[in-house]
Amino acid sequence: MRLLVGLGNPGPRYAGNRHNIGYMVVDAIAARHGLARWRRRFHGLVSEGLVGGERVLLLKPETYMNDSGRAVAEAMRFYKLEPSDLVVFHDEIDLAPAKVRVKAGGGTAGHNGLRSIGAHIGSDFRRVRMGVGHPGVRELVEFYVLQDFPKADREWVEALCETISENAGLVAAGEDARFQNKVHLALQAKGFIGPEKEPKSAAKPP
């Protein structure tokens, strides 16, 4: 089994925040692949089923971002999973909007959700880093990620969620390079990323 975790904060107040793009992506995966209805478990919401032939458990921790590791660790203990079985989808301010990179292990780059997970299970898990851009000033980062995506960004956000959900079977199967390449090419073909055209956004990429 693979544990696919989307990071975010619970409740309608945070639903459209940049910090909640992890929630948005796993919602899209559940919908596209016809997974079971979300139910409360492991201090969060879970849905399970097959994605690309792989058995997966989707988890949206409801412990708030800074305590995400508590929900993740509980689910992993119950299913006797290893860190290598975990994939975390999260916002990344150090990537331009709509850019996606897959990374195994490493640091947290100041992301509180990743820091919490690392404190509970160690750092040897995979991350799908989804670019949301940078406000340009470090002091504004917390305010920036807790703001909703502006209307100008909604088209690429929807395309990103759709494209990742279409190819989620690859990351569930551990084919990270192929997953990243297919997502990149699809978003480039749709005109949202590429050397000559980046998505219009209220934020400038770093």
Is 144:203 a contact under the CB 8 Å cutoff?
yes
Q: Is 134 a catalytic residue?
A: no
Distance CA 47, CA 56 (A): 8
What would the DSSP string read from start to end of 46-93?
EEEEEETTEEEEEEEE-S-GGGHHHHHHHHHHHHT--GGGEEEEEEET
Catalytic pick among 19, 90, 111, 134: 19
- Cα-flanking dihedrals φ and ψ of residue 87, to 5°? -125, 125
- Active site residues per annotation: 19
